[in-house]
């Protein structure tokens, strides 16, 4: 293999994250585990980091932050749906619909996984926290019933759609041609998040117990998560 073809990879094992770069490796958390496809990079003592960098497009720190928070958001959304399915799978008529939305969220996360690697963006250090918090939010809303689960979806997706629209405006005002790939990814995710929001309303989210209070609290939590994940 030509060493110039080596690529930066992020290997996720639950909450353990490892950054592998050419022949070197760095611990992002407490342990290192390499996938078989990347072991040859560790063995190679002559891999050139300069060659690796040529394969990655330079983007601003602000766009780095956008990708970091979007990746964290899609990760958190996956955990929310995981929590809801843990409670509702096999017990609710809405389970198939929730699974469909979850499958789309998995695709969204894959999109940002790839962009993170391509642009050499580190994940947020808060991933272990969002891993737990997202699941608890999803499971907690589902325990209150299907409509509460849908209310959670409405609140989260409303926050994400607003966030994505803000990003699209910034990127369009900066350099839409340079950011075309990132904007296309955000638009795709934004449109499907809007569908999830509308589906939640169609399925009776507003009939949930304490709907206004619940959605208000969740939206505040989402805004805090966005602010933290952008920087940390």
Q: Over the stretch 55-85, which tens digit does the pLDDT of each residue have?
A: 455 678 889 999 999 999 999 999 999 999 9
Query: What is the pTM (predicted TM-score) of this model?
Result: 0.75
Give the per-residue pLDDT at 57: 54
What's the DSSP call for residue 122?
P
190: pLDDT confidence band, cut at 50, 70 and 90? Answer: very high
Which whole-number Å values give the CA distances from 11 to 2, 104, 157, in the listed order? 21, 21, 28
Query: From CA 201, how far away is CA 215, in angstroms rounded?
Result: 12
**Is pLDDT at 22 greater than 80 in this prediction?**
no
- Give backbone dihedrals phi and psi of 20, rounded to 5 degrees, phi first: -115, 120
Using DSSP's 3-state secondary structure scheme, residue 123 falls into coil
72-128 pLDDT tens trace: 999 999 999 999 999 999 899 999 999 999 999 999 999 999 999 999 999 999 999
Give the per-residue pLDDT at 217: 97
User: Mean pLDDT throughout 189-214?
Assistant: 96
C-alpha 102: how far from chain center? 12
Closest-CA residue to 118 (of 46, 73, 185) = 185
Query: From CA 182, how far away is CA 135, in angstroms rounded?
Result: 27
Give the per-residue pLDDT at 53: 41
Buried/exposed 80-105: b ≥16 CB within 10 Å, e otherwise: bbbbbbebbeeebebbebbeebbebb
| Chain mean pLDDT for the chain | 81
Give the per-residue pLDDT at 231: 82
User: Mean pLDDT throughout 30-58?
Assistant: 42
Give the per-residue pLDDT at 28: 40
User: Mean pLDDT throughout 175-186?
Assistant: 94
**Is pLDDT at 5 greater than 50 in this prediction?**
no
Give the per-residue pLDDT at 61: 83
**Is pLDDT at 6 greater than 60 in this prediction?**
no
41: pLDDT confidence band, cut at 50, 70 and 90? Answer: very low
Which whole-number Å values give the CA distances from 162 to 75, 79, 157, 171, 202, in the listed order? 18, 20, 8, 15, 20
């Amino acid at each position: 293999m030509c060493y110039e073809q080596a690529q930066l990879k992020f290997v996720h094992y639950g909450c353990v994250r490892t950054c592998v770069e050419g022949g070197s490796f760095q611990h992002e958390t407490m342990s290192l585990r390499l996938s078989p496809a990347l072991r040859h990079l560790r063995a190679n003592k002559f891999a050139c980091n300069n060659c690796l960098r040529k394969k990655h497009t330079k983007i601003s720190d602000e766009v780095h932050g956008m990708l970091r928070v979007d990746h964290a958001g899609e990760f958190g959304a996956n955990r929310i749906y995981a929590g809801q399915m843990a409670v509702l799978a096999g017990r609710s008529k809405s389970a198939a619909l929730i699974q469909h939305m979850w499958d789309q969220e998995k695709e969204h996360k894959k999109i940002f996984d790839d962009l993170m690697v391509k642009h050499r963006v580190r994940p947020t250090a808060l991933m272990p926290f969002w891993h737990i918090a997202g699941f608890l939010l999803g499971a907690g809303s589902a325990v209150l019933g299907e409509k509460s689960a849908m209310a959670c979806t409405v609140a989260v997706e409303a926050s994400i759609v607003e966030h994505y629209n803000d990003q699209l405006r910034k990127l369009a005002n900066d350099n839409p041609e340079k950011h075309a790939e990132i904007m296309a990814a955000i638009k795709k995710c934004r449109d499907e998040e809007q569908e999830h929001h509308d589906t939640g309303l169609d399925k009776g989210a507003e009939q949930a117990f304490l709907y206004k209070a619940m959605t208000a609290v969740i939206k505040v939590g989402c805004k805090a998560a966005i602010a933290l994940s952008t920087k940390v």
